Structures are given as C-alpha cells and as structure tokens.
Chain A
C-alpha cells in the first residue's frame, strides 16, 4: 500500500508542481484565489480531518475485536466523506452559476483539476470503505485479521493529507 501511495504522491506532486509553475509566472493567481469560498472549504477540511479520526478509531476497535463499533465508525467515516463530496458539489455549482469554468483560465483549470481529481479519490475511498463494511458485516475481520483495514486506512489518511496540502495552496494563494 505504501508503494501505491507513493505513486499517488508523485501524481499529485506533478499536478501541484505545475500549479506552482503557473502561479510563479502569473500575477493574477493570488487575486483569483480570493474568489474561492474559504469558509466552505474550511468546513470541508474539518470534515476530512474528523473522518480520518473516526477511521482510526474504527481501526482501533477492530484490533480489539469490537466488530460492531468498527462498523459504526466505518459508517461515520463514510458519511463524513459523502458530506465532503456534497459540499464540494455546492462549491462547483456556485462557480458554474457565475460562469466560471475550468477553461476560463489556467488558475481555474488547475483548481478544478486538482480538486476534481482529489474528489474522485475521496469517492474511491468511500466506495472502498463501503466494501470493507460489507466484509465486516460478514464477520470477515477480527483482532487477528485486519490487514486490509490498515491498508485502506493508509489510503484514506493519504487522501486527507492531499486535501490538507491543497487547501492552503489553492485558497490562500
């Protein structure tokens, strides 16, 4: 899983690197970043960080063989992940309503691509957790077997970390 995460790190680094390259050469970026909704994104950041916490809690429960509480934590994490995506959708809709699209300029190209790709990764994480939930309900995991739970946890924390980087980069240009 660590290897896979390093590939993801490299991919996002490529995109973020390009964003920085654009930013350095373009004086408008700082001004444009003010048009983004910091409050909404701030709430989203808190949501994701909390979801990482609920997941870690769940992992702790399954290590102690508490399958019910693990399921509960998984459900909480999934709900938080979905909340993130819903808020993101509102953010995007708001932009589109103001006729701001990815092709308006490079800042928005980067913004939509970075957050969009990140959003897809959040969605993938949510799906992954639903799969884990189904497995857990079938009593697949226990205190002696939780390897995939740990691996998925790494993935989810990674997705969270990427957002923690993206948030200040994009919104506080």
Chain B
C-alpha cells in the first residue's frame, strides 16, 4: 500500500512539472493558435487542480500520513484504497491524457467547462476532448470519494489506544474535515457532470438544445459546478494548513497555538464553504438579488480563516526556531496564503468583483491561495516527511535555496498579475496585442513571463534534490526533526504494518518545551527519551 502511494507522489511530481506551461507569447518561436492556447489553459488548470492537488496533496499524502499519525497499521479499507488508485485514478489519468491524442485535441473550455461550449459539438472543435475530460473527472471524483470514506472510517475507528479526537495532530484533523467536503460535495459535481456528459452525447437537453421549447438552462451547470468547486478549494487548502501547523510546531519547539480553536475554525470554514458558491457567478446572469447573501457569507468565511492564520503565526512567535527547508516552505505558505486571502475579501464584495471578474486579478488571487499555498505546502511536506518516507535525508542547503529562489519569482509573478488585472487585462485570451487599452501592459506581460520561466527552472533544484537524495542522501534516523507526533516513533521508512509495536498514546501531539524533560515528550507512551 505504502509503495504505490509513494510511487504516486513521484509520478505526480513529474507530471506536475510537465504540466507547467509558460505563457505562450505570439512572437515566441512556436506560435500557438487561439484554440491551442485555450486547450493549454484548460489542461494546465485541470492538471494542477485535480491531478496535482487532489491526487498528490490530498490522496497521496493523506493516505500515507493519516494512518501513521494516528498509530494505525493501514487505512480502514485497504482494498477500497487500492481500487481508488488502480480502478479510478489511473484510468482517469489515461482518459485525460488521451484527450491530447484525439482529433480536435484536448478540452478547451477552461477547467470550469461551462456549457454550451463544453456540451455542443457545434461550439468547439474539441468535442471529443470535452467528453473524455468529463469521463476522466467523473472517475477521479469516484476515486476521491473512496478516499474520503476511507479517511473518515480510519480516523473514527483506528486511532491508537488513548488517542482522543483532540489529541490528533492538526494534519489529521485537516484530512478528517476535508473528507466531509469530499463526501457531501463531490457527488453533486458527479450529478452535474453526468448531466453534462449526457448533453454532450446528445442524449439529453439539460443545458443545451437545438430548440427553445426544450427548456434548457445552461446557468444551472454553473450552480451545480460551483456548489462543489467552491468547497473543494477549502478541501485543497486544509492539508496545507495542517502541514504548516505541524511543521511550525516542530521547528519552533512550541505547541500549536490555539489548537482547539483552530480545529473549530477549520470546521467553520468547511461548513461555511458550502454556502458561498455564488460568488463565482456575480456576472453570470444569475438573479442579482442572490449576490447580496453570497457576498455577505463569503466575507464570513474570512473570519475563521483569519483565525487559523493568526493561530498558526502565533505558534512561531517567541518560539525557539530551528531553521530548515520545511520551516521556510511552510512560512512561504503562510505569507502567500494570507496575501491571497486578503484579496479574496475584495472579491467577496460583488461590486468590486464585477469589475475584476475574468481578469488577471482573479488569476493572481487563486494562484496565491490555491496554487502557491498548495505548491509550497507540497514542498514543505516533502522536505519534512521525506526522511520518514524514504529513509534518507534531502540536502538542506539545496532545499532552502529552492524555497527562497521559488518564493520571490512566485510572489512577484502573481502580484504582477493582480496589477495588470486591475488595469483591465482579461484572462484566457491568447493575444492581447489587438487591444489598444492593453498596450501599456505589454512590458509587464513579458516581465511576468520571465518570472514564470525562472520559477519553473528553479524547480529543477527540487527535482534533482529529490531523486539524488534517494540514492546518495544521508541515512535518516527515526526522528531527525525531534518531533512529537506518532509517525516519528517508527523506523524510517516504516515497516509494512507502519509500526513495530502497538502504539499507546497518553499525551497531546505538541508536547514541546515541557518542564523537567530534555526538550519534548513524544506522543507514544513507551518511547525512550
């Protein structure tokens, strides 16, 4: 079980690299026609969100870490787990990549796939690509649901003896709560995708039809789509928050500040996240009266989010900091997410959102919150848990270099997008030279591209470090970071049953700086100090 999860992390890391397209500028040697540009944009979005974040950050890291952190031998339903990978995730990936090889090419309707473009053969040459996309996402959704069920069953049933719910590390809490989103939200997307698929095949007329009498309503897809897709962004960010909380705790030798409050805030984010989907649709043509409640509720979500960020920051405050690549990366997550979250509050106000909708302001916003936070969270998680997973240590200097060299281009790149977006630069257009009012943005666009190229190249340091350390890295001991959570009380890498003995727990997960003890108290009872 552990092995193919690790393999999955590697494969996705590689695929992620391949999927990182640079902005196709019209004068750049290989001209992309507008249709291809849209396809690149669509596939970039879908690969990053679904195949990188959901598969790697949520499923791969989660299936690996949750049993370890609660002292279990494996997930509650190992067969279901295998099914979710081999029978759902893999075919999903196959179908998805097949889109590149069919006539008409892959999907080109944006990762949001709104009908009628995504539904009608008459509206797009990539019709087959669209069908494959929908089939692929239905499968990966099924895989996700299986994982969600598995997480809940595992956390409810397989915690080590003595481990109450409020003694679980925040990473595990994050996976527990995101499973709620998976279970409630994903099937609704499935229903929307089924309707879209049937429309695409010409069987039904939910969103698209040739006759006005049929009663089709394309806007309905947007409602169904965003009912899932908004909570899903909270699903995506929860593991990042969990990682950051745990990592901050270890490297500042302090318990997580406000642990219980953080847990309740995470829960609040999950619940509130389900009632704000309309903020993606302020300009869609939905009833403007709905904009008000969606606006207000969206602002409310900012409150628990802010609390979590504050608590996380306070964990570092006055801590005994041990600098490491994992800590740097986790700090990057915090900085980037808070920056992005602040612009989120602006977007919540429908009056402003109407202006910035579908501009680069929004692209900048979500790359900060979703892209940056998740990306640096994956780095942080990798730097932190790599010794546990592979039994070798990654090179710390290279790691720190990678994080610092990634952070600055990343931040400037997407900050720049906010600025050109604010001046009106619309998104998803292949060539902006035709627009008189956008001429001042041309030098900015070029600068942004160079930043992006730099950012992409810096990832090679990470890739090199990752693979080189597998073979030539220093051997890692059980607990190289002197962390207190349960996963560090087994060997690196863990044996097949995860632990060498049955784990019993007597304390919380963050007993650092305890009086009368050398430095910290591990969570399991029989560990020697």
Contact = CB atoms under 8 A, between A and B. Distances in A.
Contacts of A37: none
Given A3-B183, A18-B224, A109-B198, A104 B214 contact: yes
Query: What does DSSP make chain A's interface, helix, strand, loop or mixed?
Result: helix
Interface string B219-237: 0100110010000000000
A4 interface: yes
B305 interface: no
A117 B194 contact: yes
Interface in A66-109: 101-107, 109
Interface of B: 145, 148-149, 152-153, 183-192, 194-195, 198, 202-206, 209, 213-217, 220, 223-224, 227
28 contacts: A6-B183, A7-B187, A10-B185, A10-B187, A10-B188, A11-B187, A11-B188, A11-B191, A14-B187, A14-B192, A14-B224, A14-B227, A18-B192, A18-B195, A21-B220, A21-B223, A22-B206, A22-B220, A101-B203, A103-B202, A103-B203, A104-B205, A105-B209, A105-B215, A107-B215, A109-B198, A110-B206, A117-B194
A171 interface: no
A8 interface: yes
A113 B206 CA distance: 10
Contacts of B145: 7
A112 interface: yes
Nearest to B145: A7
Nearest to A111: B204
Nearest to A109: B204
Contacts of A25: 215, 217
Interface of B is mostly: helix
Contacts, number: 100
How large, as a class, is the contact surface on chain A? Answer: 20 to 34
A15 interface: yes
Given A10-B184, A103-B205, A15 B214 contact: no
Q: Which 9 A-B pairs have the closest CB atoms?
A: A14-B191, A11-B187, A109-B204, A10-B187, A106-B215, A14-B188, A105-B214, A3-B149, A102-B204
A110 B190 CA distance: 15
A106 B198 CA distance: 12
A22 B204 contact: no
Contacts of B185: 10
A106 B218 CA distance: 12
Interface string A1-31: 0011011111111110110011001101000
Contacts of B190: 11, 14
B216 A113 contact: no
A15 B193 CA distance: 10
Contacts of A12: 191
Contacts of A9: 187
B224 A106 contact: no
Given A3-B149, A105-B213, 13 more contacts: A4-B149, A7-B145, A7-B183, A10-B185, A10-B186, A10-B187, A15-B195, A22-B215, A22-B217, A102-B204, A103-B203, A107-B215, A109-B198
A21 B217 contact: yes
A113 B148 CA distance: 26
B149 to A, nearest CB: 4
A12 B187 CA distance: 8
A103 B190 CA distance: 20
Contacts of B213: 105
A9 to B, nearest CB: 8
A76 B220 CA distance: 41
A26 B206 contact: no
B195 A3 contact: no
A13 B187 CA distance: 9
B184 A6 contact: yes
Interface in A111-164: 112-113, 117
B289 to A, nearest CB: 15
Interface string A38-79: 000000000000000000000000000000000000000000
A89 to B, nearest CB: 17
Contacts of A103: 202-205, 209, 214
Contact of B153 (A3, A8, A13, A101): A3
Contacts of A110: 206
Contact of B216 (A3, A15, A106): A106
A106 B337 CA distance: 42
Contacts of B148: 3, 7
A52 B223 CA distance: 35
